[in-house]
Amino acid sequence: MTDREIKIKSINYRKKLLKYIKLAKAGHTGGSLSCVDILNVLYNRILNVSPETFSDPGRDRYVQSKGHSVEALYVVLADKGFFPESDIETLCKYRSHYVGHPTRKVHGIEHNSGALGHGLAFSVGVALSAKKDNADYKVYTLLGDGELAEGSNWESMLSAAHYKLDNLTAIVDRNNLQITGKTEDVCGLEPLEEKFRAFGWHVEIVDGHDISALTDVLSRIPFEKNKPNMIIANTIKGKGVSFIENDHVWHHHVPTDEQYQQAQEELDMLLTELDT
Amino acid sequence: MKFEVGKELGKANLEVFSETLLSLAKQDRNVLAVTSDSRGSGKLTPFGKALPEQLVEVGIAEQNLVGVAAGLASTGKKVFAVSPASFLTARSLEQIKNDVCYSDHPVKLIGISSGVSYGALGSTHHATHDIAVLRAINNVSIIVPADNFETSEAVKAAANMSHPVYIKFGKRPMYHLHRPGTKFEVGKSITIRDGKDITFIATGETVYHALMAAQLLEKQGLSCRVISMHTVKPLDAEAIIQAASDTKGIVTVEEHRVFGGLGEACASALMEAGMSVPFKIVGLPDEYTITGSQLEIFSHYGISAQGLAETAGKLLNK
């Protein structure tokens, strides 16, 4: 798949996740839009997993620790054929498996998440198991930047370095915003890169919306033998829609009819630009 | 030599746990112990020496302990997450709720030095809430073995359970309570002795004291049934209802706060079955638990032959 085709997918993923959030009248709009390109590259270029191989012990694992951005994950998994896209129409509806955070009831999801600070510990366990079995699958987890205030992440970072888990990759969706406002105003994280390095991880920084750069960095794993891999993906919360970008009130805001229309038009414009 | 219930002192349940686990792990490389700097207090030092590749140490980090255990279990490992019950079921409760129970990764949660085993160390080290919090979480069995036999059987059963389980025990040697050939089944209580006047329904390391109370009461002309309710969840409601039907009163006994534990579970089972019998919950009352040895604390709160006999007598107005 070419970069252009991947970019078209990203725009379509954004259009679809907005559609389903609008339909459900619920969802985490900003964070889902910010992580779309990361999920796109992972599922379409990196992960060795498919609907047919999902129960294969040797599959790569993706664990979405920032579970609230599940709408992005649903549209990507549907596109990969894990379930019919129409299933997402039941998002947040009575007795639907497509709840507001990932659960294993949905084909393609490895672990139930939603409470923050859980995905990394789980991923350490999976990666450690691979090492014990001399298996060559890899484990990827996506963390929110606001999520990093959860102390459990730092316990897990110690373990990952201790066990030299170079088959484990954590990606931080560094959009700089959380529900209350800027991460640096709520509970400062910087200097993040130095903190991760001090915890024994190899750190790479990437533009989290640059398909080519994401592909390059994710293709170079393991970055360094015996060290867990950390990618700080600089992103824009609400990426792709002008009035949603970089505004924390869109953390879980649902667009009005007019806003929805405008958002779809802006994304259509991006598609048109790719055609020209 | 003829076996007499409650006469022969065995090992600490903790020791039986570690021996059983080592035996299981030697036969199956997928059996893992995960510890939070607790291999010493979990008697797992020999395990670590014999099978270093099957022991995962995460340091003093109970949240990580349970999360890592869930990840390992998701890949098919038979994971025993071992940590003092006081920390395991409080510090990492959210990991138990979400990463183990909700996600249904079959971790075997092992709460060591449970109840007031660390009695002299103060409330930080007491685990007198664990049954209550775990009863309120879906998809986890709760087993509290009374003696070495129940411990060994519970650990062997846990290894093959496909859903989460919590097992807790203390570190003091326990008397053997079961005759050879006794059958152990998760969710099915064991009647250690039968009687028609009163039933003691006890769990874990209090069962022995209920048995001693029954022997004391026998001398006073009261005949007592003693049930080891080793599995608190799922609860053997049938045995409780039968006891209410066959005997004149029920005394429940547990090394746990009187709220949310075995006693309230039994009361609930009886009420829902429409049964009303003289009933008393013996456990730790809603106060700052005193400190001392496990047996001193038991005795202080009436978990002793004498204390339980008096409670039973009062219940029957005798």
- Mean pLDDT of the region B239-247: 98
Q: What percent of chain B has pLDDT over 70?
A: 99
CB of A77 closer than 8 Å to CB of A139: no
Q: Return the domain boundaries, chain B.
A: 9-175, 190-315
> Strand pairing of B9-12 and B173-175?
antiparallel
B257: β partners: B284
Contact list, B68 vs chain A (CB under 8 Å): 121-122, 124-125, 128, 156, 159
> Strand pairing of B165-168 and B108-112?
parallel
* Cα distance between residue B92 and residue B65, in whole Å: 8
Position B318 scores a pLDDT of 67
- Per-position DSSP letters for B251-280, written without gaps between them: EEEEEEESSSSHHHHHHHHHHHTT----EE
- Per-position DSSP letters for A206-260, written without gaps between them: EETT-HHHHHHHHHT-SSSTTS-EEEEEE--TTTT-TTTTT-GGGSS----HHHH
Q: Does B1 have pLDDT greater than 90?
A: no
- Per-position DSSP letters for B293-316, written without gaps between them: -HHHHHHHTT-SHHHHHHHHHHHT
Task: DSSP letter for B237, please.
Answer: H
- Res. A275 pLDDT band, cuts 50 70 90: confident
> What tokens does A130 get?
């691979």
Nearest-CA distance from B51 to chain A in Å? 13
Q: Does domain B190-315 have CATH number 2.30.30.90?
A: no
Nearest-CA distance from A122 to chain B in Å? 4
- Give the pLDDT confidence of A228-244 residue by residue, as tens digits: 999 999 999 999 999 99
CA-angle at A57, arms to A53 and A60, nearest 5°: 70
Give percent helix, percent strand, percent coil of chain A, each to the nearest 5: 45, 10, 40
- Give the pLDDT confidence of A129-154 residue by residue, as tens digits: 999 999 999 999 999 999 999 999 99
Position A201 scores a pLDDT of 98
Contact list, B71 vs chain A (CB under 8 Å): 111, 121-129
**Chain B residue with minimal CA distance to A105?**
B103
Q: Which of B98, B101, B163 to mutate to test the interface with A (most CBs of A within 10 A)?
A: B98
DSSP 3-state assignment of B115? strand
**Chain B residue with minimal CA distance to A153?**
B64
Annotated catalytic residue B62: yes
Cβ distance of A122 and B102 shorter than 8 Å: no
Cβ distance of A159 and B58 shorter than 8 Å: yes
- Mean pLDDT of the region B63-91: 98
Position B88 scores a pLDDT of 98
Nearest CA to B308 out of B174, B218, B241 is that of B218
* Cα distance between residue B33 and residue B112, in whole Å: 13
* Cα distance between residue B53 and residue B29, in whole Å: 9
A122 touches chain B (CB under 8 A): yes
Instruction: Give the largest Cα separation in chain A, rounded.
Output: 54
Position B3 scores a pLDDT of 84
Cβ distance of B70 and A155 shorter than 8 Å: no
Q: What is the ipTM of this complex?
A: 0.97
CB of B243 closer than 8 Å to CB of B227: yes
- Res. B34 pLDDT band, cuts 50 70 90: very high
A151 touches chain B (CB under 8 A): yes
Q: What percent of chain A has pLDDT over 90?
A: 98
DSSP 3-state assignment of A61? strand
Position A173 scores a pLDDT of 98
The distance of Cα A187 from the centroid of its chain, to the nearest Å, equals 22
Give the side-chain half-sphere CA count within 13 A for B229: 29
Which of 1.10.1200.10, 3.40.50.970, 3.90.1150.10, 3.20.20.80 is the CATH number of A3-275? Answer: 3.40.50.970
- Per-position DSSP letters for B21-72, written without gaps between them: HHHHHHH-TTEEEEESS-TTTTT-HHHHHH-GGGEEE--S-HHHHHHHHHHH
Nearest CA to B126 out of B85, B92, B174 is that of B85
**Chain B residue with minimal CA distance to A161?**
B58
Exposed e or buried b per residue across B223-236, where buried means at least 16 C-beta atoms within 10 angstroms of its C-beta: ebbbbbbbbbbebb
On the question of a cis peptide bond just before residue A191, with omega within 30 degrees of 0, the verdict is yes
Q: pLDDT averaged over chain B? A: 97
On the question of a cis peptide bond just before residue A51, with omega within 30 degrees of 0, the verdict is no
B236-242, long-range: CB < 8 A, 24+ apart: B236/B187, B236/B188, B236/B189, B237/B269, B237/B273, B239/B188, B239/B189, B239/B191, B239/B201, B240/B201, B240/B266, B240/B269, B240/B270, B241/B269, B241/B270, B241/B273, B241/B275
User: What are the helix (H) ranges across B89-198?
Assistant: 93-95, 130-135, 148-159
pTM of the model: 0.97
Which of 3.40.50.970, 3.40.50.2300, 3.30.70.3270, 3.30.420.280 is the CATH number of B9-175? Answer: 3.40.50.970
A57 touches chain B (CB under 8 A): yes
Position A276 scores a pLDDT of 76
* Cα distance between residue B38 and residue B57, in whole Å: 9
- Res. B126 pLDDT band, cuts 50 70 90: very high
Of B19, B57, B62, B296, catalytic: B62
- Res. B2 pLDDT band, cuts 50 70 90: confident
Query: SS in 3 state form for A129-187?
Result: HHHHCCCCCCEEEEEECHHHHCCHHHHHHHHHHHCCCCCEEEEEEECCEECCEEHHHHC
Q: Does A167 have pLDDT greater than 80?
A: yes
- Res. B52 pLDDT band, cuts 50 70 90: very high
DSSP 3-state assignment of B133? helix
- Give the pLDDT confidence of B151-166 residue by residue, as tens digits: 999 999 999 999 999 9
